[in-house]
Structure 1
Amino acid sequence: MNTIDLYGADWCPDCQRAKAYLKEHNIDFNFIDVDLDKEATAKVEAINKGKRIIPTVIINDKPFTNPDNATLANLLGINKQGVIKLYGADWCPDCQRAKAYLQNNEINFQYIEVDKNKWAADLVEQTNNGKRIIPTVFINETSYTNPDNSILKTVLDIGKEAEQTVFDTVIVGAGAAGLTASIYIQRDRFNSLILEKKNIGGNAFLTEKIENYPGFTNISGPDLMTKMSEQAKTYGAKIETGVAVNKIHKKGNEFVLETNMGEYVSKSVVLALGSTYRLLGIPNEADLIGGGVHFCATCDGAFYRDREIIVIGGGNSALEEGIFLSGFCKKVSIVNRSKTFSASETYIDKLPSIKNIETYMNKESVAFIKDENGNFKGLEIKDNETGEVEALHADGSFIFIGLIPNTQNVKDFIDLDARGFIKTTALGETSVKGVFAAGDCREGAIAQVAAATGEGVLASYGVRNYFK
């Protein structure tokens, strides 16, 4: 049978995104939780050369590492017309003809070879009254035996111009700023669409505990972001995940957003692009990302239960996540390049009472250390006063040294400052009229969830004024 195995974990945002996409299109799959199954963890590491990368999806024995929605659509034949599967063989001329026609018209289809899968051959024979006729094409649950191109054109409406929705506002990014902007824009009776490349909630979704959001003394990032997204949907907002905006340009009075899933058209745009974790830029860092070097304690911390880890950084994120990791890791070593922490006193005051946290102050991270097999072994650090170099051995590390705005794809469209943040007016309007920015990607932004929601409100007021 057509088998799809999704190896992941419930806390993993990309796993949630992939699962939601498959369920949305009624694709049957087996979910294997790597946190509960050691053999599954070993299999994922073997597939990904020692790295625990999830989701890892196996489709008919072929593995795919963290496929985005566009890749899943291509692999599994997901289209607006339905799910398309083509059963055939490489030697079959009509199969080649059908494949070429679908490909030339940008129709996704799952190609299943009957010569290599007995279950596929049996299905084809069962469908065709005992005859092995190929190609046999399934569109949803309806089969077509060796359909010619005219039949495919008719049943798939190929060549028929689809009516394109023009939104009042397209919001790029489903973090706190984008979701809040959508709530207010929808309440103003404008129709909005949120496009999110990865997971709903952005970086806040990856935070294990939030203690400084008004109204909640303690709430998890996923819970808070889920509440925001549900509220936005309640007012009519539409959210599409797995959609990466590659370019934006203006056409007349409208904006065209070019994405990996096609084009979207809008009368205004809110850029809530968020930010990405900053790298150290030291030897062996790139090679070990995902295999000993991590940036999200909520996502990857569970892999290091009862093991020793290193946390690099001295701000709120470093101490907050270090304290969280100390709850289940054997030892946490915090490396800070300064003599003092820049984090708030709330976090600093907690450190002395936590016995399995050790701090290394005024130490520069020099290089990550690999063992003889190329796996993570530790971190080489240098004392900034004495110049003395030492090696910290551990099972993994987490880097928390700041963020970089995700503005690379709009740098030729709007004005950015020297660091890559978007320049805006008081209501978040950018150098292009009708385009607004909110959240971590904006110049002068404060990287806090509460601040991001406020900026989402300001951007929504900018949109309202623009339409006036």
Structure 2
Amino acid sequence: MFQDKITMYGAAWCPDCRRTKDFLEKNQIKFEYINVDVSPEASAIVEGINKGKRIIPTLIINDQPYSNPQNHQLSKVLGINKQGTTVLFGADWCPDCRRAKRFLQDNQINFKFVDVDTTPQAAEFVMSINKGKRIIPTILINETPYSNPSNAVLTEVLELDKAADQRIYDVVIIGGGAAGLTTAIYAQRDKFDTLILEKKNIGGNAFITKKIENYPGFKEVSGPELMDRMAEQAITLGTKIETGEDVTSIEKTDDFFKIHTYNGSFKGKSVVIATGSTYRTLGVDGEAELIGAGVHFCATCDGAFYRDKEVIVVGGGNSALEEGMFLASFCKKVSIVHRGESFSATETYIEKLSSFSNIQTYLNHSVTAFNADENGVFQSATLKNNLNESFIDLKANGVFVFVGLQPNTQNYESLLNLSQSKHILTKGLNKTNVDGIFAAGDVRFGAIAQVAAATGEGVVASYGVREYLTK
């Protein structure tokens, strides 16, 4: 059997690695997995591929590298569709190959094209299928070969008349974090057919939180464990979850909403937007160029690269101090830089700082630039003393920025009313200005960026959905 050679470099704590592994396994794609945390050689390979940046997952597919590919990109590269995998063996000069390729493209079927003229293994495979004959195109659909199939045969085999998902869900939830999962749990308990579309991995920002100490009922719980429990509950109740579905737009029709993604479209009688937020950047010189090459926004995700090294944390809120103390548990030294004269975090976090001998604080200091070494990797941050306007160059191996969050609403600016900060404006029961669309969690104006608060947001949104659907 003709097989792609796929090697995936990743780590257990990486949400995108988990998403990618789930996607490959779901589609029965064979691959070799290498954990960069336990293999320094693998870590070096990843950095070499990505010009010094530690980007995971990094995949090598038939000697071609792909840095953190999204599911729809992998679908195109590997020929993955809802009907299964499709591989077309052919040649550029072959008229029937061009006809088959055009037919698949016109019907939006992802397929992998393998040129038998340049791939001896593929030529041998085609001949073995066709009893010694070199018949092209030979198309492999779910590992079943079809020798020069007509368009009519392809239509039947690929069930093109049945390929579109005509199911209309009672509620489609965009985002699989705490708010989205809670909405799904309550909606399914109300017997509403529910679908969650998640761009990356279920769990949102909570999934990449190492330790949660303020969620009711748990003295301490890891973000992945809590989110996995919520997802399991939602699925047990009947929720369908699709990961790797990056929503591009929402279209309102007379009878339902059509939610468009890179992979296709879905239909729902109501929609809940729970897309959460992403970390804000500082916007200083050198930041954009060094993201992934020493500048990071998630200690749980990238902290392991800096074991026994020195790092800088920028920020003064709960997240900055919490992540700073997490880094201090295995880094040689952590320098926390905050522009104010005192931290804005709660007293609980401030009091804990004194128990770490390897944490140094720089209050009344602002970052003005991130500086790279001769290899284009972060080596220091330029700090301005806000009291006397002097400057210092603070050296470190890496820097983690925690200066707040920005809502993920860029795809809804023309559809929904947003605040000046780009949060979705809502009224009672989390209703937006579009009847049938609701918002929940960090994406909503006035929401509190805490996991416990996000679950409450989901409850409120579910009541809005119930009222709308039972009219």
TM (norm. structure 2) is 0.97
In the alignment, which residue of structure 2 is the partner of 1:274? 276
Contact 2:178 2:206 in 1 (8 A): yes
In the alignment, which residue of structure 2 is the partner of 1:208? 210
* In structure 2, distance between residues paired with 1:421 and 1:221: 24
In the alignment, which residue of structure 1 is the partner of 2:295? 293
CA displacement 1:298-352 (0-9 Å, x = unmatched) = 1100011111110000000000000000011111010000010000111111112
In the alignment, which residue of structure 2 is the partner of 1:375? 377
SS of match in other structure, 1:410: coil
Q: What's the CA shift for 1:431? A: 1.1
In the alignment, which residue of structure 1 is the partner of 2:337? 335
* In structure 1, distance between residues paired with 2:320 and 2:158: 52
In the alignment, which residue of structure 1 is the partner of 2:399? 397
Specify every segment of 5 or more residues in structure 1 that has no aligned partner in the other structure, as ranges: none
Contact 2:83 2:163 in 1 (8 A): no
* In structure 2, distance between residues paired with 1:421 and 1:329: 36
SS of match in other structure, 1:57: strand
CA displacement 1:354-410 (0-9 Å, x = unmatched) = 111110110010000111222111100000011000101111110000000111111
Distance change >3 Å, CA 161–CA 376, structure 1 → 2: closer
* In structure 2, distance between residues paired with 1:290 and 1:374: 11
* In structure 2, distance between residues paired with 1:125 and 1:36: 42
SS of match in other structure, 1:349: helix
SS of match in other structure, 2:430: coil
CA displacement 1:213-268 (0-9 Å, x = unmatched) = 00111110000000000000010001111111111121003111111121111111
1:437 maps to 2:439 = yes
In the alignment, which residue of structure 2 is the partner of 1:193? 195
* In structure 1, distance between residues paired with 2:256 and 2:452: 31
* In structure 2, distance between residues paired with 1:159 and 1:256: 19
Given residue 400 of structure 1, which amino acid in structure 2 is its aligned partner? F
SS of match in other structure, 1:398: strand
In the alignment, which residue of structure 2 is the partner of 1:157? 159
Given residue 134 of structure 1, which amino acid in structure 2 is its aligned partner? I
Between 1:84-93 and 1:2-11, the stretch displaced more is 84-93
Given residue 294 of structure 2, which amino acid in structure 1 is its aligned partner? G
- 1:22-421 mapped onto 2 (5 Å cutoff): 22-159=24-161, 162=164, 164-421=166-423
Distance change >3 Å, CA 397–CA 115, structure 1 → 2: same
Between 1:121-130 and 1:321-330, the stretch displaced more is 121-130
SS of match in other structure, 2:428: coil
- Count of aligned residue pairs for this structure pair: 468
Given residue 381 of structure 1, which amino acid in structure 2 is its aligned partner? L
TM (norm. structure 1) is 0.98
* In structure 2, distance between residues paired with 1:121 and 1:367: 55
Between 1:357-366 and 1:26-35, the stretch displaced more is 26-35
* In structure 1, distance between residues paired with 2:380 and 2:438: 43
Contact 2:341 2:363 in 1 (8 A): yes
Distance change >3 Å, CA 149–CA 249, structure 1 → 2: closer
Q: What do you get for the CA RMSD once the two structures are aligned?
A: 1.3
* In structure 1, distance between residues paired with 2:217 and 2:331: 31
Specify every segment of 5 or more residues in structure 2 that has no aligned partner in the other structure, as ranges: none
CA displacement 1:410-463 (0-9 Å, x = unmatched) = 111111111111111231111111111110011111100000001100110111
Q: What's the CA shift for 1:161? A: 7.0
In the alignment, which residue of structure 2 is the partner of 1:448? 450
Q: What's the CA shift for 1:171? A: 0.5
Given residue 435 of structure 1, which amino acid in structure 2 is its aligned partner? I
Contact 2:165 2:266 in 1 (8 A): no
SS of match in other structure, 2:97: helix
* In structure 1, distance between residues paired with 2:269 and 2:162: 25
Given residue 385 of structure 1, which amino acid in structure 2 is its aligned partner? L
